[in-house]
A and B are shown apart, each in its own frame.
Chain A
């Protein structure tokens, strides 16, 4: 009993010791360091804007070079019409080989009747005469055939020449045409198999207000879902900032670290005037804050109306504005 217990205890201890040792020395199981992948999280609207931006940017880039490298473009494009024009001829040569067999075919049947005549005449003389006559006939026939052949050949050559001339003319005409209007942007686009963009002609006005013409893909133009571009937002903010500036007298007489920042929120009427009394979004009860809030309220009320663009009313229906005088004092 005792021996068994001792053995059991010893074995357990040994097992524990072994486990401790091996677990400690066991190499830490560690997943390989994942490669760092830089990821930018952007919203759908940002992506849309990004795409719009790229699209307009391309147009912007394409525009200025139009002036100087235009000839280059034309030169590059000009050779292209040639292959297009040269492509049709290959199908045309086949007609000529077709004509040739037609001319040659009639010849083989002719010798056959001559062989039949020889068989019919028994007499040697006659045969000889006939042979001579036949020979003559054959020669004549051959001559005739040669003549016909020559005539046909001539005809073919004439036709070939004509065809060639026609083809050359055509080629020349096309080349001339290609040369005549190499600056036609539409033609180039057509040749490049680019569907002409309806919005393409006015891009000259696009650079100043890239997103104005395009707008959002979805939603009403006055809707809240319409995103303002950064520059438009900046423009609206700039109007308010410069308009409120002369009306805002930050109260602290000399400033200090405790200068409070007041956030006001107010509704606007479509004419740019303040609708009702602005609300303090971050109220505090201390005197400094109260005074700062009142100064901000006075600025908004004194400088009403704010000359904001009416077509963007949806964006400035409500305004939330921080009044932060810390840089001033």
Chain B
């Protein structure tokens, strides 16, 4: 009896002491409080970065690769490759740490050193090291090998790594664009399906221009492009394999009015089909080729595009009087309007990140390319002009490409890219007029 009593007493004493301790204990006061503040303003100017000439047995080849890296970074609008003439230090060896104080003087925040050359197996090899000039740390290093004819990819791959390491976003340089190449006079354009690297290099024509081609779209998973082709008055949907060059007819759809688009898993295609006076949205399973109606109104529902998770579809419809944007579940349920602004909304495209929807908006005589959140909030315009249309997202969801038509008899469409800040708008070099761009996913 005595022992439990003693234990209990001891326990009670400990409890009381503990409570007292808890009451009297205070978090250690930080004696070194110092000065506090918040930085809300920085610079949107591009980050100064040094990309000296790469090393290699073939100096010109190495320099060409480093030039691709520098050009990619510069075009992103987020980096400012410094003039190589101002460089003090000559990089002689990739494996010895650079004297970073020499680069600090130039105010470069980062340094990309690299080497490029030909491997014995006939491929080309490139490697790089990314240095943080002010902390002195090596941030990234990697080695790539690609086919000899794809040597520019070495530069794109390295630029993507640098971009990702310094911005926290995935890069988009190792990508391609399919678009409609337009030649000839305005009233009798020759429209051909074309493809090129995102920087305009390596242009390839994929159709001969005997037929009218429209709205090419990349498959998110395979090297395939779906597009529409008019043979006479007959619209057809084709699937083109970019590696083999083989074309596959998906079907004849009389009265089809708008572009087919892949589902994120690449297994389905969603498009709109005219039926009677109305246009409705249908989904096609690419394996079974079976069609399924998703909307059924007396209005024109068109321009469908999947969300990146494949669960929802955004589309445009005039069911409420004017063209507005709507979102529904992938099975056609829970349709609701998300755009409520003035003007007419069209060509909605869901960002690969899922956060934003890009669109074309026609208002008071001009066309603007804008973005809004998936619930329709936070609408903002990125660029405005006489005729802007058909935005397409870079795979990282940070840059859009679209076409802009210039006025006049000699005018025509050209491709432009713009980032989400709206500040960095660039003309994309194409040999002739170009429209209807579609951005590929990242190549791997």
Contact = CB atoms under 8 A, between A and B. Distances in A.
Given A257-B355, A299-B42, 14 more contacts: A240-B39, A245-B39, A245-B41, A249-B43, A252-B169, A253-B167, A255-B421, A290-B168, A297-B134, A302-B104, A316-B34, A321-B37, A323-B39, A325-B40
Contact of A245 (B42, B132, B396, B420): B42
B40 A287 contact: no
SS class, residues of chain B in contact with chain A: loop
B134 A249 contact: no
A244 B166 CA distance: 19
A325 B42 contact: yes
A324 B135 contact: no
B31 A224 contact: yes
B409 interface: no
A328 B421 CA distance: 10
Contacts of A324: 38-40
B421 A254 contact: yes
B22 interface: no
A247 B46 CA distance: 11
Q: Which of A224, A253, A295, A329 has the most CB of B within 10 A?
A: A253
A317 interface: yes
7 contacts: A233-B35, A244-B39, A253-B419, A291-B165, A291-B166, A298-B135, A326-B40
A142 B233 CA distance: 160
A255 B167 CA distance: 11
Nearest to B107: A302
A325 to B, nearest CB: 6
A270 interface: no
A277 interface: yes
A59 interface: no
A323 B42 CA distance: 9
Nearest to B373: A257
A16 interface: no
B185 to A, nearest CB: 39
A309 to B, nearest CB: 12
Interface of B: 31-47, 76, 78, 104, 107, 109, 132-135, 139, 165-169, 355, 396, 398-399, 419-421
Contacts of B109: 249, 298, 302
Nearest to A253: B398
Given A251-B166, A292-B168, A315 B34 contact: yes
B42 A328 contact: yes
A233 B36 CA distance: 9
Contacts of B168: 251-252, 287-288, 290-292
A265 B355 CA distance: 33
A290 B39 CA distance: 17
A240 to B, nearest CB: 6
A318 interface: yes
A319 interface: yes
Given A252-B167, A253-B419, A321 B39 contact: yes
A328 B44 contact: yes
B134 A237 contact: no
Contacts of B39: 240-241, 244-245, 248, 296, 299, 321-324
A298 B167 contact: no
Contacts of A224: 31, 33
6 A-B pairs with the lowest CB-CB distances in the bound complex, closest first: A254-B420, A318-B34, A248-B42, A291-B168, A301-B134, A237-B37
A8 interface: no
A294 interface: yes
Contacts of B421: 253-255, 329
Interface of A: 224, 233, 236-237, 240-241, 244-257, 265, 277, 287-288, 290-292, 294-299, 301-302, 315-329
A200 to B, nearest CB: 34
Contacts of A318: 32-35
A291 B167 contact: yes
A250 B45 CA distance: 10
A312 B243 CA distance: 68
A319 B37 CA distance: 8
A317 to B, nearest CB: 6
B296 to A, nearest CB: 35
Contact of B32 (A233, A290, A317): A317
A166 B204 CA distance: 122
Contacts of B32: 317-318
A8 B247 CA distance: 102
A247 B396 CA distance: 26
A180 B428 CA distance: 88
Contacts of A298: 109, 132-135
Contact of A327 (B40, B132, B166): B40
A253 B398 CA distance: 6
A324 B104 CA distance: 25
Q: Which of B40, B133, B135, B396 has the most CB of A within 10 A?
A: B40
B351 to A, nearest CB: 10
A31 B45 CA distance: 65
Contacts of A249: 42-43, 45-47, 109
Q: Which of B47, B166, B168 has the most CB of A within 10 A?
A: B168
A20 to B, nearest CB: 40
A247 B167 CA distance: 15
Contacts of A241: 37, 39-41
A275 to B, nearest CB: 12
A320 B35 contact: yes
Nearest to B44: A328
Given A248-B43, A317-B34, A254 B132 contact: no
B169 A253 contact: yes
A315 B34 CA distance: 6
